[in-house]
Amino acid sequence: MTVLASYTTNLGNVAWCLATTASAYALFANLGAAEYGIMPVVSQRKVEAQAQKRNDGDEALAKISGSLTHAQRSQLFTFFYDRAKNRIVPSIVIGTLSFGTVAYLLPARDGFLQARNAAILGAISFAAAIPVTLRLLMPTNKVLISVMKGDTVKESYVPKLLERWNRAHLVRIVLFAISFGSALILRESLGELRLARP
């Protein structure tokens, strides 16, 4: 194996590891925040629906959530947002670049097409999270943050804004799931390629 081939293989492995880590983080951190983090608390209807399905403490959570004012909901959302934005943006950038690097390093010929296509799909789905975030989530974030800062005119919109945010966030979770699935397919494809080499 030449030095260049060895370097390319090692770079590809590092890029695949980064892509897999970034996509796993983006998917599971966002799923956790949506289902078990602060978002169910600020989204009262979701908590009430969960409390009706089972009786494992969600009733207490529904009472707490129900007692929150719209301003308090926006404060909790802003608390969540300020921490999440510093982690999800780097994850999206690292994932997109890493999947792109793997796709670039894989040759566009038979035997490598499945792996290359998986890497391209991973890069595209990760990159698609950027316009989804900017177009669907950011306008809602700005209004919720303005309510937290004291904008009482928009305060009555908080429940609908949180519902809108949850729907848009679901789109982003689907994109992260596609990226993570692409990383798993890529892993299988690369493993088969290594086994097939003489």
pLDDT in tens, 3-55: 445 545 788 888 999 999 999 999 999 999 888 888 888 886 655 555 555 55
Alpha-carbon dihedral angle through residues 153, 154, 157, 163, given to the nearest 10 degrees: -170
- How many beta carbons lie within 10 A of that of residue 153, not counting itself? 8
Whole-structure pTM value: 0.83
* pLDDT greater than 50 at residue 197: no
Q: Contact at 8 Å (CB) between 131 and 96?
A: no
User: Would you place residue 195 in the very low, low, confident or very high pLDDT band (cuts 50, 70, 90)?
Assistant: very low
User: Would you place residue 190 in the very low, low, confident or very high pLDDT band (cuts 50, 70, 90)?
Assistant: confident
| Tokens at 153, concatenated | 């005119």
Which of 68-77, 99-108, 167-176 has the highest average model confidence (pLDDT)? Answer: 167-176
